[in-house]
Amino acid sequence: MKKNIVAILTFVFVSVLALTGCGSTSGTSSGTETTVVVEMQENEIVLQPNGTDFTLSLPFTKKLDSTYHVELNNFTLAVSECSVSVGSVSFAPIPLVLDGALNTQEILTINGSFDQNCTPTGYSLTAIQTVSKDSQTTSGDISFTYTYSGSSGIVENGYAFINATTPLNIGASNTDYTISMQLIKDGFVASGETVELKAFSNVYGSIKTTTTYTVATDANGIAVFDYVSPGTLPADGTTATITAVLKDENGTIVPGIEQNIELIFDQNSNNSGIDYTNYTFTAIPSEINITEGGASRVIDVYVGNNNQPVANELVKVDYTFTADGNGTVNSYEGFTDANGHVAFNYTAPSDITSLIGTSTAVILRLDGNSSIYSTTTVNFNTPSGTSTDYSNYTFTVIPSEINITEGGVSRVIDAYVGNNNQPVANETVTVDYAFTADGNGTMSSYTATTDANGHVAFNYTAPSDITSLIGTSTAVTLRLDNNTSINSTTTVNFNTVPGSVVDYSGYTLTVLSNEMNISEPGQQQTIDVYLENDSNGPAAGEVVLVDFFDGTKGTMNSFSGIVDDTGHVAFTYTAPQDISVLDGFTIRVSMENNSSKEQNIVINVDTAVYMIYPDANITVTDISQVHTIKVALTKQEAGATSTLPAVGKTVVAEFIQPIYGTLSQYEAVVGTDGYARFTYTSPERIQDVNDTNITFYYKENQAVTANTLLVYEAQNINIVEQLFVVPDSVTITEAGEEKNITIITVNADNVGISSTVTIEQPFYNDTDYGYFTPAGPITTDASGKAVIVYTAPSSISGLSERNITITETNQSLSKELNIKYNQATGPGIDYAITVHIPDSLSVDNLDQITVVIHELGDETRVIDDSNVHEVNLTSIFTNMLTFGSGASTATYANAGTQPIAVETKTLSGTAVIEVNASIFNGDQNVTINTLVPVTILSGPVSAMSLVYVGTDIDGNTGLYKNYYTIHAVDKYDNPAREGITLHPSIINGTKVIKSAATTGQITQGTPDTFDDATPTVFSTVDTNDLLAIVPNSSSVDKLYLGNWSIANVISDNQLELAEEYTGATTNSLSYVIGNSNRYIDGYGIATVDVRSRDAGYVTDADGNVRLEVTFDPVLAGHTVTISANAYDVNRTGAAKIAGLRWDDFSSTTELVPNDGNDHNVTLTLGISNFQELLVGLDIVPSSIISSDAACDLNESAVNDLSTDANGQIRVQISTGLSSSTATECEISWSKSISGIYREY
């Protein structure tokens, strides 16, 4: 009997709940306002055969959405008509947590004992219920009361037979069959009672002569008779009845207590005419270890014939071990399901003290042929002194919910076992048998072991007829066999097809790639599915299923997924560790609601050896240079001796930072000539940068990689061709007067070049002509600009003129600055030109300047318009600034004050305008002129580069440092304006690594979100973590790259971002999520941080911020993600995955004899003369080096190139090069960061 009762809880924050209280008298709580919170399914208490031990399983359903966290704790149980033994009751799990979506379910299991035999008539369960949302929490007492009504089918007063072997199909003559039945008294098993079969005609068979017609019931109340079918079977369809009776202690038949066994003779039945020659019969596990009384284990039996499952075969359990008091099983016989499986639940005695050190055999037999059997050995042991620590284990099943709308359909349930975010292999997972016993479906298996990736898959099949189950649910609970408190549940809902059936005929299901190649053990491939509705829009919310159930061919991260708002859902396939035996195969994906909408993905297994050879280097000698880079990709098939071009295969280029230039594309296909081609363009402004690599790799195996070196010939690029002093003439009218002088150094393209400049000092011939600040030498900045201040002497009396020489030292370029001291040009009025320019102009913009001609020393006294004959303005740097519609000159007349429109170009720096004016000074026509500097600032930051600089050690702390520079530029590659704040971050310990996948999506909205349809991908993420979006071959936009704070984990597939996103919805993103802490095996927690080297995070005049990454030495060689962003008009970000560098790695050296044999070698790798060990890193095979060519790594052997907790790797060395005279070789590691694979 099952009912639902509802618990009611008082909230102080009821207003936030979008529910209406529906009320029930079964669940109660205190308070004035109530809201539905949980619903409990009523189940009756199940008594064990001893009459005192009991079990109660109670499913609880959450009635709030996923924003609420519900916990039940502090349980107490009171049972009507029974006295519960003090201290005997256990509840699991504690607390019972419901933190999923609406209607998610968790099961509370209660075990206990009564003081004496009794029959429960009901029970009451109380608990404290706590509900949390955001920062609000409330708790309250709740209780559930259930009083049994109706009949459970078991006679609770007097004797009765149950669980009898009837009907019994007889299909073979002279064949042994077992007839059994169970006797109960007052609802409990009746042991030691006498049961007798009444005599029956031998036409219908007999009881074996070695046994008897009268037996005593065993400890479980079971009576067993050994029946033999007759030598000649009656006609097919004949039936006969054998009757069993109960006798009292006097041998008298007890009236009304009997059991009829119906015999059906049918030679076509499952028990007749069967050839069992190729049958297999397997019981899993073969061994069970019991360390505590009352423990239970599932024994799963599989029956097969010619590698196909056999259904409806009766399997029986020998009752001998039960009679010996060595435990019980839930049932002693059962029929195999459609998958050939039948499960039994073994339960150990409540007290195993006397059994410690012994074993018992649970024998299971095929009823149709008792010679076919299997044994599970039960060992009774004391608990091991070194037990596994399960405190950090995670156990996840996917999906958490299955909807069944038709009989006989199957769904895959995938279980994942992890420990400290690492997969756990060889852990046994069992499926609770209870739902099978209820007739709610079957499993392909009831026990299995996790693979190397921590996964194990089971196939659930619904009953062929679900009519009676419509509207109900059942729980399929999977448990860790070695710690049954670690469990998870998939809820199976039986539903009718909705009344308004959706027409799916116009829906389209596609996969982005119908064919994938596997070439490495454990290699992963992402299956990206797109589902489109009949309006050509994304079919969000629909479920897509994966039909792939063969662990020998690999595993899936999930077997079902929900289509996101963009129409996509992604699955990850992982190849097995041994791919040598694999042939090509297919993985099918389909809609759950319309299985005809399907696609097959062909998995090709490619064991060829691939090699990649890009152009060795490219020399960059100028800006905006275009180069074609050729990348050769070859393959050598298994067993072949020659290589061939890998025509049709794809080569990928890793993203290069904008400071180094751009690639026109990041993927290219190998052509018939064996080359993939990429187009590289050098940047429009080349900074003083180190040479760098472009990394290329084979798309289907990123371990196949090589580099092209970009060589920057600075002598051809950073040569100063012109020196400007602006203005080149000044007139001093007052003592102590100050004038700003701008010095500009540029190359032939007017691009600013940083250089050193000397300044002749004004003091001359014992005369004070003033001074310069700074006095020099000075260095122009990255834009080629420096500003000095000239200050006139304290007295200018008697001074007339002084020419100052300013010299660029690298190219020996000189200019003169003319200084006049109150010198009239008369006759007439002395005039000067002043140009008013905004503090800064920005690139690629329109603005204006204003020219004013005024009396020398007094700008308020502007020349009369009629005295201005002609004024000409000339832009010296037309690639930086022009006038009007792109003209290099501007001319006007008859205006003492004149605004002039200017247009800036894409190059930042300092432009120069020459102004010449022909005027009447009141006495005569004269010409005056000046040079004017115009500062053009970069536009908003549009890209940032993270450039490695060097390595150091902190002598005080012993911590290691890597130095980086963030270089920020605008969209024209100009250095960022000085003073822009950049925000760096670093991820050390990872929770989600999707750097090689493209399953992320960022969406602008309220709130801004980041999504990934991969099931439970964000299940371990919290708001203390960071998200770093990293570039891939198709996604490099500055609006989303870089680091993001996580404001809220909305679900296992969606994050709320703390910062504002202003771009369009973008998918196919790669990313990493984690924080600054990492656990290192054998060391503990190791940390890393990133900070400014200059105590500030703002750009300097060159657009740079200098960073230092400080880390524990044990992290050297490990991979981190460094990212940064800036908010300059809009957000701009950058991210880089890098290894933590160190220049002092260590390695032991081992000697091997050059004797023609293979030798196993163990090397220990460390840091700084083994102050720390290299732990948990994968070493590049080619970095294993030998002192002689006669000895080399045997790459065909099973080499363990992953450093363990002792920093050790184990490799096999082949020897015997005949041309070598070496008698032995020194084997070591290259001790370089290039000899360590990136972890992601």
pLDDT tens for 541-569 read 888 888 776 667 887 877 778 888 778 88
Q: Any idea which of 335-339, 417-421, 531-535, 1050-1054 has the lowest mean pLDDT?
A: 335-339
pLDDT of residue 1039: 84
Neighbours of 478 (CB within 10 A): 25
CATH of domain 393-494: 2.60.40.10
User: How far is 452 from 574, CA to CA, in rounded Å?
Assistant: 10
The per-residue b/e assignment along 325-338, b for 16 or more CB within 10 angstroms, e otherwise, is ebbbbbebbbebbb
151 vs 300, more confident: 300
What CATH superfamily is the domain 159-265?
Answer: Immunoglobulins (2.60.40.10)
Q: What DSSP state is assigned to residue 1123?
A: E
Q: Which CATH number fits domain 829-937: 2.60.40.10, 3.40.640.10, 1.10.3720.10, 3.10.129.10?
A: 2.60.40.10
Full-model pTM: 0.46
pLDDT of residue 680: 93
Confidence of residue 757 (pLDDT cuts 50, 70, 90): very high
Tell me the average pLDDT across 203-226: 81
What CATH superfamily is the domain 279-380?
Answer: Immunoglobulins (2.60.40.10)
Strands 813-821 and 729-732: parallel
User: How far is 466 from 22, CA to CA, in rounded Å?
Assistant: 29
581 vs 16, more confident: 581
DSSP string, 798-863: T--EEEEEEEETTTTEEEEEEEEES----SS--EEEEEE--S-EESS-EEEEEEEEEETTEEEEEP
Q: Which H or E run contains 1208? A: strand 1208-1214
Radius of gyration (Cα) for the chain, nearest Å? 42
pLDDT of residue 7: 37
Secondary-structure class of domain 508-605 per CATH: mainly beta
Asked if the model's pLDDT at residue 1071 lies above 80, the reply is yes
pLDDT of residue 508: 92
User: How far is 1048 from 1055, CA to CA, in rounded Å?
Assistant: 6
Same fold across 508-605 and 829-937: yes
CB 551 within 8 Å of CB 457: yes
Confidence of residue 348 (pLDDT cuts 50, 70, 90): confident
Q: Any idea of the CA torsion for 969, 975, 976, 982, to the nearest 10 degrees? A: 70
Largest CA distance in the chain: 155
Q: Taking the domains of the chain in order of start, what are their residue ranges?
A: 4-147, 159-265, 279-380, 393-494, 508-605, 610-716, 719-823, 829-937, 943-1139, 1145-1235
715 vs 190, more confident: 190
Q: What is the pLDDT of residues 1073-1126, one digit of tens each?
A: 999 888 888 788 889 998 888 767 888 877 788 888 999 988 988 999 998 888
CATH of domain 719-823: 2.60.40.3450
Q: Any idea which of 220-224, 659-663, 1218-1222 has the lowest mean pLDDT?
A: 1218-1222
Asked if the model's pLDDT at residue 1027 lies above 90, the reply is yes
Confidence of residue 1200 (pLDDT cuts 50, 70, 90): confident
Tell me the average pLDDT across 906-915: 84
CB 598 within 8 Å of CB 588: yes
pLDDT of residue 995: 85
Write phi, then psi, for 714 (nearest 5 degrees): -60, -30
Asked if the model's pLDDT at residue 16 lies above 60, the reply is no
Helix (H, G, I), strand (E, B) or coil at 42: coil
Of the chain, the end-to-end C-alpha distance in Å amounts to: 54
User: How far is 1235 from 1184, CA to CA, in rounded Å?
Assistant: 8
**What residues have CB less than 8 Å from 887, skipping those under 6 apart?**
none
Q: Work out whether the CA dihedral 562, 1034, 1136, 611 comes out positive or negative.
A: positive
Q: What DSSP state is assigned to residue 1081?
A: T
DSSP string, 431-497: E-SHHHHTTS-EES-SEEE--TTSEEEEEEE--S--GGGTT-EEEEEEEETTEEEEEEEEEEEE-PP
Give me the amino acid identity at 1224.
Answer: E
Q: Which CATH number fits domain 610-716: 3.40.50.11890, 1.20.1250.20, 2.60.40.10, 3.40.50.300?
A: 2.60.40.10
Helix (H, G, I), strand (E, B) or coil at 553: helix
Which stretches of 337-454 are assigned E, i.e. beta strand?
341-347, 359-366, 369-380, 393-398, 401-404, 410-419, 422-423, 428-431, 442-443, 447-449
**CATH number 2.60.40 is the correct assignment for the domain at 4-147:** yes
600 vs 639, more confident: 600
Asked if the model's pLDDT at residue 1209 lies above 90, the reply is yes
